[in-house]
Structure 1
Amino acid sequence: MKHRPIAVRIRNATLIATLGLAAGLLPAAHAANKPTAKPSADKPADAASGALPANGVARVNNVVITQDQLDQAVRALNVPDTPALRASVKNQLIARELFRQAAEKQHYESRPQVVAAVEQAKTAAMTAAYLRDQVKPAPVTDADVKAKYDAIVATLGENEYKPSAIAVKDADTAQTVLTQLKKGTDFAQLAKQYSQGPGAAQGGAMNWISFKTPIQPGNTQNWPQPLAEALVKLPQGGVSSTPVQIGDAYWILRVDEKRPTQIPQYDQIKDALRKQLEQVALEKATAQVVVDLMKNARIQQQ
């Protein structure tokens, strides 16, 4: 059977564009393979290379791309595995190997930016391997997860609120926003125009929040207490009549919706809570490794 030249199979412009997008996902074909024996002088290169080895899916000059490398590259893309996808990925691996060989031929490996990138990659891989061995987070038990759920539920109030917010840096701008709101200007439009707070690009929209009332210090779901107090005083659709100053920022709140607090069942959120607790445990264990290393380190800072 006659094979189409490689150049024909990878000439599609979309494929070449995909090479750039997938460059960080597709492993270089040469990484796990050494070049095959150099062809003898009296034989053409393709004849000297012979048939592909049992695990080979392609040979680029004297480098074999293996089935394992193709499988790994397909898995890294995290999309449905199809024959068409495999053909496309194989061509990308071939093209990347061609690029590598061309760069190596012109000694790009000695260029300063390449040397620096290799060193950075080595440092990152070495550090990651060290942390995997040294960081031992405490296991998260079912009891830990249930206790976290109960603690969250205990902080919730009778009602929950869906707020929007506009946060600006000075009192004059805050007054300008309030004046325009009184004239009927859309809150979301003003948030996009003026706000430097959360959700500004979405018109100031924020997530549902609930507080036990009266508001108690330390029980405000990480909201500044004055903001929490101002929010629970507003009716549905209500807007702050005066800005609430928090540090250097001036906040204007609106209650988009208000409803009785909806508490999710434990089974619905236990997996998410477990992941949160595992992340906290990982950060704590990592911090402890840093502390232990610093005990025997000499560190100078300006």
Structure 2
Amino acid sequence: MKRHRNHITFSRCVAALALTVGLSVFAVQSMAATKPSSSHAEAAAPVAASGPLPANAVARVNSVLITQDQVDALLKAANAPDTPQTRSAIKSQLIARELFRQAAEKQHYDTRPQVIEAAEQAKSLAMTQAYLRDQVKPSPVTDADVKARYDAIVATLGDKEYKPSVIAVKDEATAKDVLAQLKKGTDFAQLAKQYSQGPAAQQGGAMNWVSFKTPIQPGATQGWPQPVAEAMVKLPQGGITTTPVQVGDAFWIVKMDQSRATQIPDYETTKPALRQQLEQVALQKATAQVVVDLMKSATIQQQ
């Protein structure tokens, strides 16, 4: 098996692991993020409306100070270059924001129902973030874990890899019509954009490289429907399935754009991405455990 750096087939296999994590991990990561610095959270302190500025102040808006810490915090959050021009722009932004706040407070916007609701939501989010930081403790991912995942992915790959294009439609009559047009010389990509309801339709049905061990085994198709994978590996380069491949209620037409010996990036190339994804899985498991523990003492009604 030939090995090659930065090859997309292996990357797609790695990406499949990330899909198992789901949207819940993204939400938990956002909620469990590092606690913001006090310069973000603390309100500007009211002071005398005139006189020299204190050492750490960069401006005074009526009786409220804008501090250097606030400028530093926004500069860091924006990941912007630390230049006098950038700092001046941030200071102006903070002054404008304080003017808006004071004007809104003067007109009693703080008593409006939508403002009160937003404040309660912000409080609830901050409280939940703090709780998750304390309670969700993912298991550390070791180098051995990462290497084991790499070896497991490599073990799923066959000697050859394939780059297909596909058209998937909802009825056999449409599939046969597409095949008839292909026989007349109509461009496959054009027909995919026109008819396909399957993956990558707007890209002409063009899919990424994929590799299977042959003969195809159930559950070892890198997420592809098994009948499609079986049809794919039988096609010569440039070949198109002569009859639609039925998968449930859908009918697939497959074109083999390219095939070649499988190429795999080395371990060191893929190690950072694999580690990150395994850490996401560990975070998901730790979060799920906290949910299970909480449910044991909760009364939950659902419809």
TM-score, normalisation: structure 1: 0.81
Contact 2:39 2:73 in 1 (8 A): no
For residue 101 of structure 1, what is the aligned residue in structure 2? 102
* Largest Rg, 1 or 2: 1
Moved more, 168-177 or 263-272: 168-177
Aligned counterparts of 1:172 and 1:293: Cα–Cα separation in 2: 53
Aligned counterparts of 1:278 and 1:171: Cα–Cα separation in 2: 44
Per-residue CA deviations over 1:212-236 (Å, capped at 9, x if unaligned) read: 1111112111222112112211222
Percent identity of paired positions between Structure 1 and Structure 2:
74
Aligned counterparts of 1:156 and 1:297: Cα–Cα separation in 2: 45
Moved more, 282-291 or 115-124: 115-124
Contact 2:58 2:66 in 1 (8 A): yes
Q: What letter is aligned with 2:47?
A: T
Contact 2:39 2:69 in 1 (8 A): no
Per-residue CA deviations over 1:267-288 (Å, capped at 9, x if unaligned) read: 1101111111111111011111
For residue 34 of structure 2, what is the aligned residue in structure 1? none
For residue 63 of structure 2, what is the aligned residue in structure 1? 62
Gaps of 5+ in 2: 1-37
Q: How does 1:1-302 map to 2 (within 5 A)?
A: 31-37=42-48, 48-302=49-303
Aligned counterparts of 1:229 and 1:151: Cα–Cα separation in 2: 22
Aligned counterparts of 2:198 and 2:145: Cα–Cα separation in 1: 34
Aligned-pair CA distance for 1:294: 0.9
Question: Would the alpha carbon gap of residues 97 and 243 (structure 1) be closer, same or farther in structure 2, given more than 3 Å must change?
Answer: farther
Per-residue CA deviations over 1:180-220 (Å, capped at 9, x if unaligned) read: 33333332233333333322332223221110111111211
Moved more, 222-231 or 75-84: 75-84
Q: What letter is aligned with 2:292?
A: V
Per-residue CA deviations over 1:58-97 (Å, capped at 9, x if unaligned) read: 2222221111111111221223333322222222222222
How many residue pairs get aligned? The number is 266
Aligned-pair CA distance for 1:36: 1.3
Aligned-pair CA distance for 1:147: 0.7
Aligned counterparts of 2:207 and 2:257: Cα–Cα separation in 1: 10
Aligned-pair CA distance for 1:29: 8.2
Contact 2:200 2:206 in 1 (8 A): yes
Per-residue CA deviations over 1:151-180 (Å, capped at 9, x if unaligned) read: 111110011112222233333333333333
Contact 1:30 1:97 in 2 (8 A): no
Q: What letter is aligned with 2:223?
A: N
Per-residue CA deviations over 1:14-66 (Å, capped at 9, x if unaligned) read: xxxxxxxxxxxxx99894322113xxxxxxxxxx4222221112222222111
Q: What letter is aligned with 1:297?
A: A
Aligned counterparts of 1:172 and 1:121: Cα–Cα separation in 2: 54
TM-score, normalisation: structure 2: 0.81
Question: Would the alpha carbon gap of residues 184 and 61 (structure 1) be closer, same or farther in structure 2, given more than 3 Å must change?
Answer: farther
Aligned counterparts of 2:158 and 2:258: Cα–Cα separation in 1: 15
Question: Would the alpha carbon gap of residues 29 and 262 (structure 1) be closer, same or farther in structure 2, given more than 3 Å must change?
Answer: closer
SS of 2:263 mapped into structure 1:
coil
Question: Would the alpha carbon gap of residues 65 and 221 (structure 1) be closer, same or farther in structure 2, given more than 3 Å must change?
Answer: same
Gaps of 5+ in 1: 1-26, 38-47
Q: What letter is aligned with 1:252?
A: I
Aligned counterparts of 1:81 and 1:191: Cα–Cα separation in 2: 49
